Structure 1
């Protein structure tokens, strides 16, 4: 009878502990309601314009040599997505409008300000990342261009330096956002720069990762059950001894 009672209690505690573990895991998940981006601190370039076109925030620069318009960059954020700290997640889509410009009118760097709007927990965080722009001269043969080119000459967008982590706090836990890189395809290999052919528009997916700096410690369910089981067995032995003595 005593053993059955102890086993029943152990089962109840195991179930409760497992439930606590489920809630703890759920609490660690973050829900991003949306992301968006703006542009600032553009270095070099003439006739700089910031604008929003069909939901895409753009920065454009330069004096075009053709009717294709200015060169520039555009950013479109993502909608609702849920992920855990440590997961790689999509920040948005970056587009490079690579048009021919007159010499001396191209930009060399610009800042992408990414806003992350979380709905669980409710908070909005902003992060700034500098992107380097290498607008090459469109002269000579394509084979002599600094980057692989179909026509002279392709340009490159890249991270100028390793980004320091941007840290913020949610519910007492510090998180660091790291910009991981670009990918030409969803879920593809990440790179630190991407090449755009002259006279065309190139798209890349921008990925980041949130890392928990001060994770909340949650006891392992198995450990809790083991502790209870040992205590229960000890109590059972004590009861048994009392009955023998009586």
Structure 2
């Protein structure tokens, strides 16, 4: 049987992909818990259904305090290095006094193949003053912004001989929407976004010089070359 060059290349690529399938994990479920908000002494925690909430501030209306809620996802197959949904994030954006400016979020991933892994992040909260020129597009003055301080989790875990960590990738306003870096939440209501991340490999730190550099240094020593470095 004769194969064209293109067909042969496709056959080889398919064989390589079959022999080296992308590493994968099975996420059974995810969950999130909140730390103590910074910037305000007025805060509290509550769980409503499957959602863990942190609320803060002194309410300026009957709408209640502001806050954030996190609801995890169920069983999800994961290809390492590819983004997947971590959970749904809700921002309760109400007029308040003594707003928070950041809060810790611990994301727990329960895998089928390995033990639970927990990663800690800091979510930044830009609670605007609702007066003057709004910093973000606002239907009602003024929208707030939720972002994160650290995209990479604070720890790593071992799997199949390699080290991995969780990296936050961005928000989507709908599961099939575009990925964005910030969650803009309109004033006077509750906004929802979906938080996405990926399990990425942690590169090994090189503690020794490259072999080529070692060879070069040895060569200089063998030739008895001397070089003087002058500080300018």
After TM superposition, the score normalised by the length of structure 1 is 0.71
Where relative contact order (Cα < 8 A, 6+ residues apart) is larger, the structure is: 1
- How big is the shift at 1:199? 0.6
2:34 to 21, 36, 39: 39
2:21 to 19, 22, 25: 25
Q: Which runs of 5+ in 2 are unaligned?
A: 1-14, 204-232
Q: Which runs of 5+ in 1 are unaligned?
A: 1-17, 215-246
- How big is the shift at 1:112? 0.7
- Which runs of structure 2 are paired with 1:60-99 in the superposition (5 Å)? 60-99=55-94
What is residue 107 of structure 2 aligned with on the other side? 114
What is residue 146 of structure 1 aligned with on the other side? 135
Structure-2 separation of matches of 1:151 and 1:42: 25
- How big is the shift at 1:171? 3.7
Structure-2 separation of matches of 1:58 and 1:165: 22
Q: Does residue 180 of structure 2 align to residue 185 of structure 1?
A: no
Structure-2 separation of matches of 1:123 and 1:167: 13
Q: Which has the larger radius of gyration?
A: 1
Per-residue Cα deviation, 1:162-207 (whole angstroms, up to 9, x for no partner): 5467421124321132111111121422222111111111111101
1:206 to 172, 192, 195: 195
What is residue 4 of structure 1 aligned with on the other side? none
Q: Does residue 127 of structure 2 align to residue 130 of structure 1?
A: no
- Note if contact 1:52-1:58 (Cα within 8 Å) is conserved in structure 2: yes
After TM superposition, the score normalised by the length of structure 2 is 0.75
Q: How many residues align?
A: 190
Q: Which has the higher helix share?
A: 1
- Note if contact 2:120-2:153 (Cα within 8 Å) is conserved in structure 1: no
Two-structure CA RMSD over aligned residues (Å): 2.3
Structure-1 separation of matches of 2:53 and 2:154: 25
Structure-1 separation of matches of 2:37 and 2:80: 32
Structure-2 separation of matches of 1:124 and 1:54: 22
